[in-house]
């Protein structure tokens, strides 16, 4: 009876083991990731069929061991990947490494491997580890595109900032709340206010102005609310006061842009104070010349009239 029971128990154990292996194999086949099982001491391993297929190989086409794995890792990644792998052997958390592996076609595939120890020696070092291999080439491609886009945007922004900060004209951008979001270096030089003093502030609160300036402010406010204004695309001259209290005249041109559902006013200001002074001086000189010309014409006319009167009186001009 004891022999029969032992045979029955053995058959039950074998059946349980068979079902367990079937479940293990079915699980491995059902997932898209490659599965590996590594004997750290011997270097021998198990690579699932998906592991091989991911790299373009048939099942078991190359030896499943540490040496094979390392030979397929990209030369630029192998030192880093192996270092992180060795560190993971003694880690409680295991490891997660991204690197490139060479496919049968010769192409490089970005993969991610995760592993953790399931058996350790008396010193706590892993002697057996299991993990997965995942194709992340699509993710890496997306990440690379995002990185390239970010770099392009950074370069573009740097060019944009350089252009703004080397421009001779003051450039100001205000949002739909009339708060300044851009204040270039020319504006700093022109008005005396730093960027920190102006960003987030309202231009018309910081730079006091005359009545004409306040009227233009009302038009600008209308633009910020509706995107419409009768000064858009036109140049207007405004008297403004600088930080030090002195006054200058600027020629202001206002443009508009609509970004993310908001209106922005873009103002370009040029200091025309010297030009206005020259125009005023030239106007004064012209007026003086006109006055002198008028006097000269009047004098000539008087002389002609005097000569005619002398002639009528019978007095010769030579006798005078």
88-92, 100-104, 265-269: least confident range: 88-92
Among 6, 174, 33, 43, residue whose Cα is nearest residue 113: 33
Mean per-residue pLDDT over the chain, rounded: 77
- Strand 235-241 and strand 247-259: the pairing is antiparallel
- Looking at the structure, tell me whether residues 176 and 227 fall in a common domain: yes
Domain that holds residue 287: 276-319
- At 125 the pLDDT is 83
> Does 20 fall in a domain?
no
Residues 6 or more apart in contact with residue 157 via CB below 8 angstroms: none
Task: Tell me what pLDDT residue 199 has.
Answer: 92
Cα(25)–Cα(18) distance, integer angstroms: 10
Residue 85 sits in the same domain as residue 172: no
117, 184: one domain: no
Query: What is the model's pLDDT at position 20?
Result: 44
Q: Do 67 and 120 have their domain in common?
A: yes
CATH classification of the domain holding 88: 3.30.450.20
pLDDT at 235 over 70: yes
Q: Is the pLDDT of residue 2 over 60?
A: no
Choose the weakest-confidence range: 87-96, 216-225, 229-238, 253-262: 216-225
Is the per-residue pLDDT at 290 higher than 70?
no
pLDDT at position 100: 94
Please check whether residues 261 and 286 belong to one and the same domain. no
Is residue 42's pLDDT more than 90? yes
pLDDT at 35 over 80: yes
Would the pLDDT of 40 be above 70? yes
Q: Which residues pair with 116 in a beta bridge?
A: 130
**Whole-number Å distance between alpha carbons of 173 and 158:** 17
What does the pLDDT average to over 273-290? Answer: 66
Cα dist. 317→271, 310, 313 in Å?
Answer: 60, 7, 11
Tokens standing for 262?
Answer: 């908001």
Structural domain contains residue 267? yes
* 214 and 179, same domain (yes or no): yes
Pairing of strands 170-174, 262-271: antiparallel
Mean pLDDT of 237-256: 84
DSSP secondary-structure letter at 57? P
Count how many domains the chain has: 3
pLDDT given at position 306? 62
| Whole-number Å distance between alpha carbons of 74 and 115 | 19
Question: What H or E segment, with its residue span, contains residue 249?
Answer: strand 247-259
pLDDT of residue 264: 85
Partners of 286 in the β-ladder = none
Same domain, 70 and 104: yes
Predicted confidence (pLDDT) per residue in 70-82, tens digit: 999 999 999 999 9
């Amino acid at each position: 009876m004891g022999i029969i029971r032992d045979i029955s128990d053995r058959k039950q154990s074998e059946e349980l083991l068979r079902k367990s292996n079937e479940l293990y194999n079915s699980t491995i086949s059902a997932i898209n990731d490659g599965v590996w099982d590594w004997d750290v001491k011997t270097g021998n391993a198990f690579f699932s069929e998906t592991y091989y297929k991911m790299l373009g190989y048939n099942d078991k086409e190359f030896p499943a061991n540490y040496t094979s794995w390392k030979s397929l890792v990209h030369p630029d990644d192998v030192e880093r990947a192996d270092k992180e792998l060795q560190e993971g052997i003694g880690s409680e958390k295991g490891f997660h490494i991204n690197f490139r592996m060479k496919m049968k076609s010769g192409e490089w595939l970005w993969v991610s491997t995760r592993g953790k120890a399931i058996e350790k020696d008396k010193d706590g070092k892993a002697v057996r580890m299991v993990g997965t291999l995942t194709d992340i080439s699509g993710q890496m491609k997306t990440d690379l595109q995002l990185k390239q886009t970010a770099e392009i945007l950074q370069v573009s922004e740097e060019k944009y900032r350089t252009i703004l900060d080397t421009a001779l004209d003051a450039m100001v951008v205000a949002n739909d709340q009339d708060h300044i979001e851009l204040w270039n270096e020319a504006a700093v030089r022109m008005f005396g206010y730093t960027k920190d003093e102006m960003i987030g502030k309202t231009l018309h609160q910081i730079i006091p102005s005359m009545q004409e300036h306040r009227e233009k402010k009302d038009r600008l406010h209308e633009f910020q609310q509706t995107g419409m204004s009768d000064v858009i695309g036109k140049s207007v001259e405004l008297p403004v006061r600088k930080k030090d209290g002195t006054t200058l005249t600027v020629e202001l041109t206002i443009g508009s842009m609509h970004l993310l559902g908001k209106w922005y006013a873009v103002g370009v200001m040029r200091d025309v104070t010297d030009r206005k002074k020259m125009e005023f001086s030239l106007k004064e000189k012209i007026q003086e010349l006109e006055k002198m010309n008028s006097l000269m014409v009047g004098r000539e006319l008087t002389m002609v009239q005097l000569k005619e009167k002398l002639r009528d009186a019978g007095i010769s001009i030579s006798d005078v």
